[in-house]
């Protein structure tokens, strides 16, 4: 038995799904030079790609900062689910020479950023002062160069490329939604 000819049409609709690139990033900022008696203020901001980091630990000269060992140090932490970031602030209300040293913030994924702080003791107010500095680390937590000021995946060897990549991903995300 022969049947009737059947015509089959196949329509293919292409679709594109773009998800933004997410990188783990840690950044520390604050004044490198502080007058004796002034407030030492450092701020650490970290993301772990698509999720909010669990915690940030602070260290001074390699020692973890704990309240009983560093009673003058006040640390706050703020989470943002919107930006998937964790921000921690370290404050010492009246800096002394004992507060001079290397301060490190470390994320729960073991990304590290550091800053050298110097508390200046001078008889004259005419002492040269620094304006501040920052230190950023980007990448995955398995690769870590503690002496590098900036750590980037090999395809992002330039901070400008990193900015353009992240900004482009953000624009695409907001255009798609």
Task: Read off the pLDDT of residues 9-54 as tens digits, 9 standing for 90 and up.
Answer: 777 777 655 555 567 899 999 999 999 999 999 999 999 888 889 9
Distance CA 144, CA 167 (A): 25
- Domain 24-176 fold: Immunoglobulin-like (2.60.40)
pTM, two decimals, is: 0.61
| Residues pairing with 105 in the sheet | 58, 113
The token pair at 94 is 């009246």
Identify which of 108, 120, 132, 111 has the alpha carbon closest to the alpha carbon of residue 43. Answer: 132
Q: Are 18 and 79 in contact (CB under 8 A)?
A: no
| Residues pairing with 128 in the sheet | none
Tens-digit pLDDT profile for residues 108-143 = 989 999 999 999 997 655 555 555 555 665 554 443
């Amino acid at each position: 038995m022969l049947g009737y000819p059947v015509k089959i049409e196949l329509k293919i609709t292409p679709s594109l799904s773009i998800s933004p690139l997410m990188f783990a990033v840690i950044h520390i900022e604050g004044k490198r030079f502080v007058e004796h008696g002034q407030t030492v203020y450092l701020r650490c901001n970290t993301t772990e790609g698509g999720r909010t980091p669990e915690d940030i630990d602070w260290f001074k000269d390699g020692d973890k900062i704990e309240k009983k060992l560093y009673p003058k140090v006040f640390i706050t932490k703020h989470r943002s689910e919107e930006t998937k970031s964790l921000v921690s602030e370290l404050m010492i209300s009246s800096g002394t020479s004992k507060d001079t040293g290397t301060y490190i913030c470390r994320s729960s994924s073991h990304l590290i950023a550091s800053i050298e702080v110097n508390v200046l003791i001078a008889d004259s107010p005419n002492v040269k002062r620094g304006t501040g500095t920052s230190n950023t680390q980007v990448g995955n937590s398995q690769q870590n160069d503690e002496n590098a000021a900036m750590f980037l995946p090999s395809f992002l060897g330039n901070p400008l490329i990193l900015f353009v990549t992240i900004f482009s991903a953000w624009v695409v995300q907001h255009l798609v939604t």
